[in-house]
Amino acid sequence: MSDTATHTATHTATHTATHTATHTVRIQVFKRFERLWHWSQMILIFTLIFTGFRVHGIHDFISFGDAVVVHTWAAVILLIIWMFAVFWLFTTGQWRHYVPTGENFIKVARFYAFGIFQGEHHPYKKTYRRKHNPLQALTYLMVKIVIFPAIWISGIAYLLVSFGLGDLLLGLGVDCMECIALVHTIAAIAIVVFVIAHVYLLTTGHSFWEHVRPMITGNDDVELTDEELAYLKKDEPDVIKE
């Protein structure tokens, strides 16, 4: 190869490496509202699980009547929070983090199925544009568009009946309370499974605190390209925490 060709190839490789170079930088990943929404949702979901178990007779730590009242109010408050959260996700563009991608999906799935039990390092690193790994994004999306709506719709149907508006359901063609109860229970069980898996994964890999800290402080280490780092330094310097 000639000196000119060698120089050109070296220059191209150097330019490409520089263009795709990444830096691990601590930035604000989770906004204040997102953290408030997360912890409020956690408290309310645990309240709903506790009172729901009482309604089904699994425990008797509180009276049946109190469990129904607390369950109803917790559900209403959670529904209001979800409405604000959906509005926030779409107005801020944060919904993009929940769009699944096939990139590295197999690697991440294999890690959770096998690698995590063999002490392997997580194959995914957070980036500025993708703070959830592919499996997380798919799971959160399914929870938001399948499980939560099932809980909402069946729960609202229950509320209509409890408020004496059962005739409205009949007018909508819904005349099977057993079916509504079944949908509500299945969706609730799915949420319980999700919560158990979520808490379990917090105990794997890094320390429990390293998993939880970002949702408390809002800050985490992510991979930034040169362009992303330059953009944040110029337009959003407060986001950078180092």
E strands present in the chain: 22-28, 219-225
Does residue 147 lie in a domain region? yes
Does residue 63 lie in a domain region? no
Report which of 211, 214, 83, 208 is spatially closest to residue 149, judged by C-alpha positions: 83
When pLDDT is averaged across residues 89-100 and rounded to a whole number, the result is: 85
Q: Is the pLDDT of residue 13 over 50?
A: no
Total domains in the chain come to 1
Give 2's pLDDT tier (boundaries 50, 70, 90): very low
Which structural domain, as residue segments, surrounds residue 167?
Answer: 26-32+93-239
Does residue 224 lie in a domain region? yes
Q: Is the pLDDT of residue 221 over 50?
A: yes
User: Which pLDDT value is given to residue 6?
Assistant: 37
State the amino acid at position 42 in one-letter form.
M
Q: Is the pLDDT of residue 126 over 60?
A: yes
CA 210 to chain centre: 17
C-alpha–C-alpha distance, residues 211 and 41, integer Å: 18
Give 176's pLDDT tier (boundaries 50, 70, 90): low
When pLDDT is averaged across residues 127-144 and rounded to a whole number, the result is: 85
User: Which pLDDT value is given to residue 164?
Assistant: 64
C-alpha–C-alpha distance, residues 183 and 190, integer Å: 11
User: Which pLDDT value is given to residue 152?
Assistant: 87
Give 171's pLDDT tier (boundaries 50, 70, 90): low
**The two three-digit tokens of residue 136, written as one number:** 């997380």
Give 214's pLDDT tier (boundaries 50, 70, 90): confident
Does residue 182 lie in a domain region? yes
Segment 44-93, tens digit of pLDDT: 999 999 999 998 889 989 999 999 999 999 999 999 999 999 899 899 88
Using a 10 angstrom Cβ sphere, with 0-12 exposed, 13-18 middle and 19 or more buried, the burial of residue 152 is: middle
Does residue 73 lie in a domain region? no
HEC-encoded secondary structure of 123-192: CCCCECCCCCCHHHHHHHHHHHHHHHHHHHHHHHHHHHHHCCCHHHHHHCCCCCHHHHHHHHHHHHHHHH
Q: Is the pLDDT of residue 43 over 90?
A: yes
Q: Mean pLDDT over all residues of the chain?
A: 81
Does residue 59 lie in a domain region? no
When pLDDT is averaged across residues 123-152 and rounded to a whole number, the result is: 85
C-alpha–C-alpha distance, residues 165 and 162, integer Å: 7
Does residue 107 lie in a domain region? yes
